Amino acid sequence: MHTSELAARAESQAQIVDVEKVGATAQSDTFPAGFSPYTNWQKFSAAPELVLHTVQQLSPSLQQLYVHVLKQTGPLPFHEEMIELWQYADAAAAEVIAALPVWYKEGLLAVFRKAWGERLYVVPVDVYVKMLQHDLASLSIDSADELPIDTFAHSESGQGVINDLFRLLVFTANEGLPVTAKGTLHKRTIQRLESQLQMSTEALSACRVSYAFADTVSPKLAVSLDLAMRLGLIRKDTQSFSIQIEPLYEWLQMPYSKWNEAIWLLVGQHYTAANVHAKHLFYAISAAARPGEWIQAESIVQQMQESGWLRFDAEQSLIETMKAWLQALYTFGWCELRTVSDESLWYKWLLSSENDADEQVEDGDGFFVQPDFEIIVPPDCSMLIRWRLEQIAEHISSSGMHMYRLTRDSFQAAIDAGQTRKQQQEFLERYALTGVPENIIDAWERWNEQYGRAWFSEVVLLRCEDESAAHLIQQECEQGRLTGKLSKIGPDAFVVARDQVEQIRMVMEQIGLPLLKNWRNDDYDEPASTEQHGAEDELLKGSSTESVRAAKHFQNSSTMNGIVYSPSSLQYYEMDMAYCRDESWLSSYIGLPLMWTKEVRTYHASTMKEIVETAIRLKLALQMKENGQLLRVVPIRLNGQSNMDFALEVYMNEDSRAVRKTLMPNQWEGVRLLVPEWL
């Protein structure tokens, strides 16, 4: 989970705790040491560079342990029983467990609790990525500014996932997405939708998404629908998928970089397998990238193996997984791919990071209107402008440039949707970078004369019981408070503008002729009010307030459900808001003799064995002296029963490599327990 989402969930849960707590104390009593965890997470969301600073402020031992945990679990949740399986010479389980509260307090860890009380720990994904990026920057990954001329180039990357998502939203807004009684889309709708989507179904195989009706719905359509739902743009009920107007216009005002960031997080959380090596490979693609440079995929795998991020026993499988993910991210529009003569695969990452903030540019704010009625829209044109353009022009294609055409049918469709000729012309004149050709304005005038000069208007009929009531109303219309608000169409009936109904109701009460509370025509289908029709136009204006709301929506987007079965389970668990150091666990160290932990020294054989057994029980490391040298070992088990006739299996470092060895008591010249220094 991203730190922004963790902060939002923690803050929301803290408010629930405060409300439900009878005689609630100050918020500082809710959290250990008087701090709010969502504050610590939010600082990373606002300033990612603080991640490295925070880690570097830890002691060297805590830093080393933290990187060890990252390599073992990545951004996947873990529990304390798993920590013992990760032990090696420099990381005893007790040291990692003792470090958890420290990392939590610093915002480097989040804690969740299952229904039966078991705790789950997770490293926030943006913290994990920042640490991975820092480590990969120190590795010798092959890169190049330019590739040799024998390079095989894949077809040029388009806008991929964002363009497909946009086309899905346009289709849903214009035509709707009804579902069958079984809950899936109609076959004809699926065919029409999939013909408009550009992503490659074959390239999406790396995602391995699982969803209902996979035999009828392609992965590219399933991914587009799922992302739209998780971003809050589309909601599914028993009858159809429907557009969510307010979130849609919030997102349309966001730059492409924010769309890509949100989708990238969703892909990493919901489309990658719940496997630490799969997570490392996925996130390494962006973490290893350097602005404007080509990166060799195979060298990433090899360097990560040598630095302990990936296992050594499946190099070819890891490389194939890396290549499959690059194909998927290529079809998303996030990278360019090249293959050189030695068959190695190179990529150039296209998404910007916070490090490139100074180089980022705002989305384009215009298009080109041609005399032949075609409109050429650059790929960086803002989503909001493109959405408005969809309402008045026909979409032709989106290969590189987005192509539209103004036609009589599109003009009439816009008129029917409430866009007057004047509004259409004002929109084009505002965003046409080289102006609107005169022949198009002339065509609009001709089309306007042929269509839309007369129309039906929805009004309300006001009826009277008798002529005396009608006469009283007529007097008010001629010289009173109803002047210009009613039109008489018969001896006892008046026509009322729909947006004036409530005002007229109040006037009628004041003149002593109150109206019935309920309308007489119970089957009357009340259309939307003028205020409701105008709401969409208000949303189009955009403001800083809308951007703030959209950012808040982005923080919580991954908590929304989609149609793809997600391997992530954290969305179903509550955060542990009262997590702190487990004092009962710490009590295990209170009774330890001081001499056992103070220095390396020799003991009687029985005492030596007792110390070793204590280290195994408490999952502590030992410091031993062998041939005059001090060694650090993590004991695993004792083999043998007598005080001197036993063998000890340990993890230790030998020739700069972690090994598992068996040691005999007669090899030791002294021993001591290594209690974590930060306790």
DSSP code string of 625-674:
EETTEEEEEEEEEEE-SSSSS-EEEEEEEETTEEEEEEE-GGG-SEEEEE
Q: What is the mean pLDDT of residues 594-602?
A: 89
pLDDT, tens only, 336-354 = 999 988 888 999 999 876 5
Q: What is the mean pLDDT of residues 66-82?
A: 93
State the Cα–Cα distance between residues 209 and 139, nearest whole angstrom: 32
Model confidence at 105: pLDDT above 80: yes
Which pair of tokens denotes residue 676?
Answer: 């974590």
More confident residue, 248 or 8: 248
For residue 362, the model assigns a pLDDT of 66
Q: In which band, very low, low, confident or very high, does the pLDDT at 358 lie, cut at 50, 70 and 90?
A: very low
Residue 237 · residue 244 · CB < 8 Å: no
For residue 17, the model assigns a pLDDT of 46
User: What 3 state SS string does 448-488 have?
Assistant: HHHCCCCCCCCEEEEECCCHHHHHHHHHHHHHCCCCCCEEE
Residue 334 · residue 349 · CB < 8 Å: yes
Residue 613 · residue 638 · CB < 8 Å: yes
Residue 241 · residue 538 · CB < 8 Å: no
Q: What is the mean pLDDT of residues 165-172?
A: 94
Q: If DSSP codes are grouped into helix, strand and coil, which group holds residue 148?
A: coil
Q: If DSSP codes are grouped into helix, strand and coil, which group holds residue 557?
A: helix
Q: In which band, very low, low, confident or very high, does the pLDDT at 385 lie, cut at 50, 70 and 90?
A: very high
Q: Select, from the ranges 6-20, 273-287, 490-504, 537-551, the one with the highest average predicted confidence (pLDDT).
A: 273-287
**Upper half-sphere CA count for residue 98 (Cβ side, 13 Å):** 22
Which residues are within 8 A (CB) of 501 and not within 5 positions of it... i.e. 6 or more apart? 460
Nearest to 602 by CA among 511, 666, 510: 666
Q: What is the mean pLDDT of residues 204-227?
A: 89
Residue 633 · residue 652 · CB < 8 Å: yes
Helix (H) or strand (E) holding 489: strand 486-490
For residue 545, the model assigns a pLDDT of 45
For residue 319, the model assigns a pLDDT of 92
**Which 8-state DSSP code applies to residue 179?**
B
Q: What is the mean pLDDT of residues 82-107?
A: 89
For residue 356, the model assigns a pLDDT of 53
Nearest to 675 by CA among 99, 219, 37, 83: 99
Least confident piece of the model among 161-165, 368-372, 491-495: 491-495
The region that residue 326 occupies, defined by phi over 0 for left and psi between -120 and 50 for alpha, beta otherwise, is alpha
For residue 392, the model assigns a pLDDT of 93
Counting runs of H as helices and runs of E as strands, what totals does the chain give? 26, 23
For residue 478, the model assigns a pLDDT of 83
Model confidence at 536: pLDDT above 50: no
Least confident piece of the model among 34-43, 298-307, 431-440: 34-43
Q: In which band, very low, low, confident or very high, does the pLDDT at 67 lie, cut at 50, 70 and 90?
A: very high
For residue 559, the model assigns a pLDDT of 52
Sign of CA dihedral 54, 58, 62, 64: positive
Helix axes 187-194, 219-230, angle to 10 degrees: 90
Residue 635 · residue 615 · CB < 8 Å: yes
Edge-first strand order for the sheet with 119-122 is: 119-122, 110-113, 574-575
For residue 542, the model assigns a pLDDT of 43
State the Cα–Cα distance between residues 141 and 510, nearest whole angstrom: 82
**Phi, psi (deg, nearest 5) at residue 582:** -80, 100
Which residues are within 8 A (CB) of 629 and not within 5 positions of it... i.e. 6 or more apart? none
State the Cα–Cα distance between residues 454 and 452, nearest whole angstrom: 5
pLDDT, tens only, 228-255 = 999 999 998 888 899 999 999 999 999 9
Longest Cα separation, the chain: 118
State the Cα–Cα distance between residues 33 and 42, nearest whole angstrom: 18
- For residue 87, with 0-12 CB atoms within 10 Å meaning exposed, 13-18 middle and 19 or more buried, which class applies? buried
Cα separation of the two ends of the chain? 28
| pTM strictly above 0.85 | no
Least confident piece of the model among 48-62, 385-399, 427-441, 447-461: 447-461
For residue 15, the model assigns a pLDDT of 57
- Mean pLDDT across the chain: 82
Q: In which band, very low, low, confident or very high, does the pLDDT at 521 lie, cut at 50, 70 and 90?
A: low
State the Cα–Cα distance between residues 476 and 482, nearest whole angstrom: 5
Nearest to 88 by CA among 636, 655, 675: 636
State the Cα–Cα distance between residues 318 and 306, nearest whole angstrom: 13
Residue 563 · residue 226 · CB < 8 Å: yes
Q: In which band, very low, low, confident or very high, does the pLDDT at 553 lie, cut at 50, 70 and 90?
A: very low
Residue 307 · residue 119 · CB < 8 Å: no
State the Cα–Cα distance between residues 410 and 237, nearest whole angstrom: 30
For residue 431, the model assigns a pLDDT of 93
State the Cα–Cα distance between residues 203 and 219, nearest whole angstrom: 10
Which pair of tokens denotes residue 207?
Answer: 């995602």
**Hunting for tokens 């550009």 — which residue is that?**
198
- The 10 Å Cβ neighbour count of residue 147 is 16
Model confidence at 622: pLDDT above 80: yes
Alpha helix positions (H), 451-592: 467-479, 501-510, 530-541, 544-555, 583-586
Q: Give percent above pLDDT 70 in the chain.
A: 85
Model confidence at 120: pLDDT above 60: yes
For residue 213, the model assigns a pLDDT of 87
Residue 618 · residue 665 · CB < 8 Å: no
Q: What is the mean pLDDT of residues 484-490?
A: 85
Nearest to 179 by CA among 272, 241, 263, 100: 241
**Which 8-state DSSP code applies to residue 576?**
-
pLDDT, tens only, 391-432 = 999 999 888 789 999 999 999 888 888 888 889 999 999 999
- The 10 Å Cβ neighbour count of residue 109 is 23
For residue 642, the model assigns a pLDDT of 64
